[in-house]
Amino acid sequence: MTRRAFPWDRLGIDPTSDKAAIRKAYADILRATNLDDDIAGYAELRRARDAALWQAGQGEPVSLRAVPPATDSAEGAGDDIALPDDAQDADRALPGDPPGEDWQDDDWDDDDYWDDSPSAQHPDPLTRWSHGGASAQQESEAQAAAKAAWGRLLAVLYPGGQPSEDAVTHAELGEGLAAVDTLIARAEEADLAEHDALDTGLADLFASTWPRSAPFVEPASTAFGWLDEAGALEERYALRFLNDRIKGMRFYEKVQMPAHPLNRAWTELSRPGPARLIDRLRVKRLEVHKLLTGIRQRYPELESYLDPERVASWEGLARGENGAGRAVSRVLLAAFVILLVVRGCLGFIDEKDAVDQAVPAIEQGPSAAELDTRVAAIFGQGMDLAALEAADKVFADRLQPLLGLPDNRFLSPVNYVRLQALGAREVARGDALIARAGLKALWLRAAQRQSPETCSRVARGGLRDLDLGLTAEEQRREHTLLQQLLNAKVLGHEAKGGEVRYAIPGWLVEDVLKRSRLSEKRLVAALGDPDNQDRCTVEIALLDAVLAAPSRVPAEVLKGI
């Protein structure tokens, strides 16, 4: 019987000189091939097509190989494929063999046959081309320069002869770009066969050595028009890989431009550490979703430029939310108006981070009487250190080191207590939540007297080094409310921050509109933008409306404001 020899067995057709039939067979198999799952199979298919087209061009396609019938002898067992007689003649080369390179049986025992060095894996394309054209004696000076450049490029991409994913050094970058320029210059002046050899050789090399090869891909792509082949039926596998990477690199450059629609999302996700809630007010969640979805589908390697912790904090948000204040609609007389208010952790976690560090040692601390005076300045007359410890020992132990520091050296004790009051919403209940709302309204109103910027800062929890300038009456009110929180044992809580979502009753929205004297449009804009000029007015109006009828206000609203 007979069996097709390579390349015809891979193409599934009999030997033919009809190049159209060869290309059709190749295309039929290519359409049925999953290139991502069968890279080796695709490479073999391309080799089969190229070999078949070469043989067809010679006008003498290799005949079908004769397969002798199986024998029962031990000598013939398993030998079901035999070379044609002419191929067994050691004095005659097979089609496609380089001149003077006949294979002998002992060649299979040569250790060099299994060479996995870079030069063996990526042989000089000019040497391979010259086997079918120019001889070594006819090699031009430009070809010699190009061959030397190929060797230098291999040395850059395989440092020490080994594969590497490390980025090239500055010196290697210059060496590699110079080598690529030399190879491109040679390709531009060479004939079509040599040009194609360099084209294919560079594509295969860069695909195999990615991402180390990244800096050299763009100039080669421009010179050889690799992107023109993108999406074509016969797009080479190496180019399919590289073209996606090229598009990714171009997107990476564009998205960092301030004018790019996803620049703010990219900048946000590139920052280190988890996103705070205040950060989520500055960037549209839809933009973050578009960015992550797009790069994961098209350029997955770009996600390595983003901070994993930052990305995880954004993806931890509940799906389907539309952002701060965007769910507000004018149904004021309905039972409820759903308002999505994204409240930041008010900055109090950052503001008091320094307190969580080791407090500097004090050589000469204040006396007991001085400590009692400082406690009274925060919580009012009648309060001293002993009363503080009796009310909340945990909180007293945390506050006492600050009481012993000189004024303005670290963080004033009163501002530390204010920050703790803001963070108490996570554990406070009932009257304690109402007291906290009263404190915040008091602080915002005092800050508003100073400037809109100061009020905006307080709304974010920026109290660390701020003098609110409270009046005597405001100080007495603050003392009373802080004592309520102290007795509720919520000031010692270590706030973690988090997003609060709640529904504001329609009657409360109506009251806020009346108190703020803003239009619905301005109210919605202020709630959706922490930097809005009306934001402080809206915050105060909302707190006043809550405090006017606290028994009607749902607990989740008290926690959120």
405: helix, coil or strand? coil
Distance CA 334, CA 97 (A): 86
Q: Omega before 7 cis (within 30°)?
A: yes
Distance CA 503, CA 428 (A): 19
Q: Is the pTM of this model over 0.75?
A: no
pLDDT of residue 175: 92
Cβ pair 124, 150 in contact under 8 A: yes
Of 260, 251, 253, residue with least CA distance to 296? 251
Of 180, 228, 229, 234, residue with least CA distance to 205? 180
Of 519, 512, 506, 516, residue with least CA distance to 333? 506
pLDDT of residue 165: 79
pLDDT of residue 379: 92
- How far does CA 81 lie from the centroid of its chain? 53
420: helix, coil or strand? helix
Q: What is the 3-state secondary structure (H, E, C) of 248-262?
A: HHHHHHHHCCCCCCC
pLDDT of residue 227: 85
Opening angle at CA 148, ends 142 and 154, nearest 5: 135
Of 503, 498, 500, 499, residue with least CA distance to 339? 503
pLDDT of residue 166: 83
Q: Omega before 211 cis (within 30°)?
A: yes
pLDDT of residue 499: 60
pLDDT of residue 117: 67
Extract the tokens encoding 370.
């001085």
| List of E strands, 68-196 | none
Taken as a whole, the chain contains a residue count of: 561
Distance CA 490, CA 222 (A): 65
List per-block mean pLDDT (blocks of 10 residues) for the chain, which spans 561 residues. 72 87 83 69 79 72 42 38 38 41 42 55 64 51 88 91 84 91 89 86 88 88 87 79 83 86 89 76 83 85 85 68 36 32 41 42 64 90 89 86 64 85 86 91 90 84 80 92 91 73 78 88 80 86 90 83 79
Extract the tokens encoding 185.
């210059």
Helices (H), 272-383: 277-280, 285-298, 308-315, 348-351, 368-379
